[in-house]
């Protein structure tokens, strides 16, 4: 039987170093090491600081922050599943096949699913999809580098 975990914001903050306003994951709904899968959410609030300028009168979540949320979900998976990763810092090393399909608005719940984690040395690749309800808003293959980090 596969171990399926849920993680609270407190547990997430124990795993990754990000803090407001750059912590982009509010909760992990499912983490399944057997399937190499994580499902996490970010509640999108009009109170997010980036909505003041992106765009006034027509607020949408910046694509780069959607990617950041997707990357953070991957980092949470790696730090929770692999004990040797717990004291490491993950930095973005590359993006492939990135597609933005629909905008994300205040009030939306961004659902992030990452799977198929491939490790080669200190480089990790994963396929990530972000959805609002069942509609895909973004997809990417994210490449991260695992480095020794201060306060990782």
Written as one string, the DSSP assignment of 12-71 is HHHH----TTS----EEEEEETTTTEEEEEEE--TTSGGGGTS-TTS----HHHHHHHHH
Strand partners of residue 144: 92, 124
Q: Which residue has the tokens 């933005």?
A: 100
Note down the domain range covering 72.
5-148
Please state the pTM of the whole predicted model. Answer: 0.94
Number of compact structural domains in the chain:
1
Burial of 3 from C-beta contacts in 10 A (0-12 / 13-18 / 19+): exposed
pLDDT at 33 over 80: yes
Q: Which helix (H) or strand (E) covers residue 80, if one does?
A: helix 63-81
Over residues 80-105, mean pLDDT: 95
pLDDT, tens digit, for every residue of 34-51?
A: 999 999 999 999 999 999
Over residues 41-64, mean pLDDT: 96
CATH number at 126 reads: 3.10.129.10
pLDDT at 110 over 80: yes
> Is 122 designated active site?
no
Which residue is catalytic, options 4, 54, 119, 125?
54
Using DSSP's 3-state secondary structure scheme, residue 85 falls into: helix
């Amino acid at each position: 039987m596969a171990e399926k975990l849920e993680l609270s914001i407190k547990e997430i903050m124990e795993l990754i170093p990000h803090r407001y306003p750059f912590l982009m994951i509010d909760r992990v709904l499912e983490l399944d090491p057997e399937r190499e899968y994580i499902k996490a959410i970010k509640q999108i609030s009009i109170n997010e600081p980036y909505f003041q300028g992106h765009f006034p009168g027509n607020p949408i979540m910046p694509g780069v922050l959607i990617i950041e949320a997707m990357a953070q979900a991957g980092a949470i998976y790696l730090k929770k599943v692999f004990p040797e990763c717990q004291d490491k810092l993950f930095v973005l090393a590359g993006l492939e096949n990135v597609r933005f399909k629909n905008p994300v608005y205040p009030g939306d719940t961004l659902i992030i699913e990452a799977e198929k984690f491939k490790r080669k040395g200190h480089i990790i690749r994963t396929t990530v999809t972000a959805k609002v309800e069942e509609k895909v808003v973004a997809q990417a293959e994210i490449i991260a580098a695992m480095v020794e980090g201060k306060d990782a």
